[in-house]
């Protein structure tokens, strides 16, 4: 391939800026194929180098967005992948699975709702049955819904869905997976710039992302004696189906313009940090949060 993730480019115009974005409102969970431009997952640009040779990974929210980009990158680095996603995301999940298989690796599809503790246990059981072990657990699935009224617009039903998807599921998955992870394994969570610079319209979501940061730090201390590392990736604005599915049209069309680099990230730009945390290259790093924010500070 002529250009890949190592090709030097100006990050300001490497991808479309907000004035090039068109993202009609979609029903949740949304699909990337209906977005203009369609998100870049790294299909044409990600070049692997066996950094995750024969690793066995679980990726939640693996159907699209960051999850798809991470699945593609993991596969091209030599990993087999189990993808967790909602049943209504089956078509997108099949596309992700094909990218994994095109890289010569195994893709296992497990649809279902992470708000169900038994389903979280089933995901881990399926991974162990298929792979024999778990080397990497990527807790990436999340739910958000923007509310212009802030606190007064957040229903108990929404609050419950956000916390169960973003926090409870992460806790259940980690608890189920750790007994099947050996020294050298890695747990990676997805936090957010929202944990550090919360937006009023995403108050409940931002609260869960702050909790993920603290959970990751505490879990890293808990598991260091087992030789299992825990780190978190904190994205800023990323052009994924979650955006038109949870934000009004006018905000979609300006999405990402507020960061110093002047644009939203593409999912392909998030994959390398996950590969790094999953690989042996980050062997001396645990309990850390890596911001991928376009220049926004994690303060």
Active site members? 205
Q: Is 292 in a helix, a strand, or coil?
A: strand
**Contact between 262 and 215 (Cβ < 8 Å):** no
Task: Give me the residues paired with residue 235 across strands.
Answer: 292
- Encoded tokens for 268: 């392909």
CB neighbour class for 55 (10 Å; exposed up to 12, middle 13-18, buried from 19): buried
Positive or negative, the CA dihedral 232, 238, 244, 246 is positive
Task: Give me the residues paired with residue 289 across strands.
Answer: 232
48: number of CA atoms within 13 Å, CB side? 24
**Contact between 235 and 212 (Cβ < 8 Å):** no
Give the whole-angstrom CA distance, residue 145 versus residue 201.
8
In angstroms, the Cα distances linking 184 to 55, 109, 181 are 11, 25, 8
């Amino acid at each position: 391939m002529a250009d890949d993730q190592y090709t030097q480019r100006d990050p300001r115009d490497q991808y479309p800026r907000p004035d090039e974005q068109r993202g009609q409102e979609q029903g949740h969970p949304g699909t990337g194929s209906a977005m203009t431009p369609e998100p870049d997952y790294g299909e044409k640009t990600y070049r692997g180098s066996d950094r995750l040779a024969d690793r066995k990974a679980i990726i939640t929210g693996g159907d699209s967005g960051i999850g798809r980009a991470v699945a593609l990158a993991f596969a091209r680095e030599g990993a087999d992948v189990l993808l967790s996603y909602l049943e209504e995301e089956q078509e997108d999940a099949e596309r992700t699975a094909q990218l994994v298989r095109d890289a010569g690796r195994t893709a296992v599809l497990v649809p279902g709702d992470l708000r169900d503790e038994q389903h979280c246990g089933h995901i881990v059981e399926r991974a162990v049955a298929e792979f024999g072990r778990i080397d990497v657990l990527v807790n990436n699935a999340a739910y958000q819904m923007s509310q212009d009224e802030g606190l007064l617009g957040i229903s108990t039903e929404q609050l419950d869905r956000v916390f169960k998807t973003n926090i409870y599921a992460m806790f259940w998955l980690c608890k189920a997976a750790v007994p099947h992870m050996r020294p050298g394994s890695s747990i990676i969570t997805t936090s957010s710039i929202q944990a550090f610079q919360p937006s009023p319209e995403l108050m409940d979501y931002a609260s869960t992302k702050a909790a993920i940061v603290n959970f990751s730090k505490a879990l890293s201390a808990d598991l260091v004696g087992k030789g299992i590392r825990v780190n978190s990736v904190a994205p800023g604005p990323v052009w994924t189906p979650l955006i038109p599915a949870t934000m009004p049209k006018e905000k979609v069309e300006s999405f990402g313009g507020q960061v110093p680099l002047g644009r939203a990230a593409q999912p392909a730009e998030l994959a390398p940090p996950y590969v790094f945390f999953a690989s042996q290259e980050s062997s001396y790093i645990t309990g850390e949060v890596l911001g991928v924010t376009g220049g926004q500070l994690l303060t």
